[in-house]
Amino acid sequence: MIPVPLPTLVLWCLGAFLCGSIPFGLLLVKLAGKGDVRAHGSGNIGATNVSRVGGKALGVVTLLLDILKGFLPVFIGKQLGMGDSALSLLALSAVLGHVFTPWLKFQGGKGVATALGVALAFRAAMVLPALGTFIVVLLAFRYVSLGSVMAALSLLIVLLLKGAPPVVLLLWAVLVSLVIAKHHENLRRLLKGTESPLWGGGKEDAHG
């Protein structure tokens, strides 16, 4: 583990934020000649709405790129020998960039795919329980939004069970809280019983 000077760490966090802020969904839909993805469906720039507007293939590409932009800064930092606290800051910065992208007046996506990317780079073992949680919740309740929220919570639970340091837990708690907060409309609809399931009803907007 290599200590990172504060000015250097700030620059790394800025780089992670800018990497996470790239609105791939918006760019891909425009390049495909489908217009502004924000003007269609849910108005979200994430993979779900991109699939709705530009087709499933474009949605898959968006999903992979949104994962990659979270994965890359944390992975590079890890290869350079940064400690868990610094890597957690990079992870949070990348997700913040996606959720509050400056290129879209700080209106971004919901951070699920980017959170998956940073988790994969930080601790690959965290991802399997999260994916398992997502699949189980989705099959049981048919709500992608609920599965996404529970998967995000499982990342924090895994770190807690693994005895992660308090600073690392705090940073990941902020990250997970951010993802959950971005699903507040979905959660409100779930409580009201008006959220559309993945099948057997209208499609919902869960990823971003």
Provide DSSP, 155-167. Answer: HHHHHHHTT--HH
User: What's the domain range around 157?
Assistant: 6-192
In a domain, 203, yes or no: no
pLDDT, tens digit, 9 for 90 and up, residues 123-166: 999 999 999 999 999 999 999 899 999 999 999 999 999 999 99
Could you give the C-alpha distances from 187 to 39, 134, 148, 156, 204, in angstroms and in order? Answer: 23, 15, 11, 19, 12
pLDDT, tens digit, 9 for 90 and up, residues 42-68: 788 988 889 888 999 999 999 999 999
Place of tokens 């902020």: 174
In a domain, 198, yes or no: no
Judge if pTM exceeds 0.75.
yes
Number of domains in the chain: 1
pLDDT, tens digit, 9 for 90 and up, residues 94-127: 999 999 999 999 989 999 999 999 999 999 999 9
In a domain, 200, yes or no: no
AA identity, residue 193: G
In a domain, 20, yes or no: yes
Measured distance CA(42)–CA(188) in Å, rounded? 16
In a domain, 205, yes or no: no
- Residues 35 and 54 sit within 8 Å (Cβ to Cβ): no
In a domain, 207, yes or no: no
In a domain, 158, yes or no: yes
In a domain, 168, yes or no: yes
